[in-house]
Amino acid sequence: MRRCYLRGFRAALRRWPLALLLFAATFVPGLTFTAAAWSWLATALDRSLATRTLLADLDMNVFVDLLGHHGDSLSMLLAGGAVLAVVCWFFGVWLNAVTVAAVGEDVPLATAAHRGLDLYATFLGLGVLAVVLDGSLLLATVALGRWMIRWTAENPSETIVSLIVGGCGSVAALLLLFVTATHDHARIHSAATGTRAGAAYLWALRFVAAGEPRALPLLLLLLLTGGGGWLVYQTVGRMFVTTSTPAVLASMLWGEVFMLCRMFLRIWTLASQVELQNLSEVTPA
């Protein structure tokens, strides 16, 4: 596992242009929606009961005022954001294919981009399957938790409710870890062998559940690495006092650095999982 972890890191370093591409693909839509939301908010506050001073100090009264006086335009803004999110998801399917091709086949970025188009249909199927499974897990966890809370409603102890919520959350997190690992290995296997989405997912289920005991610990280690980076980001971010324009700009720049690191971690994760499949003694289906 340590070998895959370190090799994945070195492979991600060699793929720094890919990290910039992923960052740009995230930054541009985010900046577009942020600019639209800020423009709408400034216009709405000018025309509502709220004054310009509330731009720097929003409270619940402002949100109530905005909803009451500008509900239609707010709905249009949210609808536009939803459409943008869907478009970004479909574009993200191609970016995932490009990333897997780049780290799995060790090809130039331009070649990986063309390979991403070839793999798009399969990756789209895997993406839809992942959304369905993740949504089903979420709904099942919520339903189970609510049923257990109702079943123990006669117990006066609040500790029971906390244990139920914590237990259901822990089970959901473990299942999500398993589904995420399976999804990643299915994409890698499909790109390497040309296997279709369903067959690749079945192969990945066997690989993660029984074939390769290092699959889940490796993903967990990478997630913990990302968690450590998030703690560093939060610690440094708290040092910015956003009471002046330079401080606000510095805080925004620090946030973009964090986003770039997240893109690098994504490449690192897939590169490490590629190394794991290469080192595994499991025979591909």
Residue pair 236/254 in contact (Cβ under 8 Å)? The answer is yes
Those residues whose C-beta lies under 8 Å from the C-beta of residue 83, and which sit 6 or more positions away, are none
Question: What is the per-residue pLDDT across 42-99, written as a single tens digit (0 to 9) for each?
Answer: 676 665 544 444 545 555 666 666 666 666 667 777 787 888 888 888 998 999 999 9
CB 152 within 8 A of CB 110: no
Amino acid identity, residue 21?
Answer: L
Distances (CA, A) of 15 to 263, 265, 278: 11, 11, 19
pTM of the model: 0.81
* Helix/strand number for the chain, H first, E second: 10, 0
Residues of the chain below pLDDT 50: 49-53, 55, 282-285
Tokens of 263: 């893109």
What was the pLDDT predicted at 200?
92
